[in-house]
Amino acid sequence: MGGNGGRRYDWETKVAAARDHVENGMTKTEVMARYAIASVSVQ
C-alpha cells in the first residue's frame, strides 16, 4: 500500500501543522485537511 519515498513536507508546514494541533486545538483530521497531509505522515 504505502511506498518508500512519498511526499515530503517543508519545515514551515510541519511547524504550522503541529502548532494548529497543539496550540489551537485542531484535530489531526482537521490539520491533515488544512495542510493536505497524507494520513501516514501524521503520528
DSSP H helical segments within 1-43, as ranges? 11-22, 28-35
Evaluated on CA atoms 22, 15, 30, 2, the torsion sign reads: negative
* 1 has pLDDT over 50: no
- Kindly state whether residue 5 falls inside one of the protein's structural domains: no
What residue numbers bound the domain in which 24 lies?
11-38
C-alpha cell at 22: 497543539
* 41 has pLDDT over 70: no
pLDDT tens-digit series, residues 5-25: 567 899 999 999 999 999 999
pLDDT tier for residue 30 given thresholds of 50, 70 and 90: very high
Whole-model pTM?
Answer: 0.72
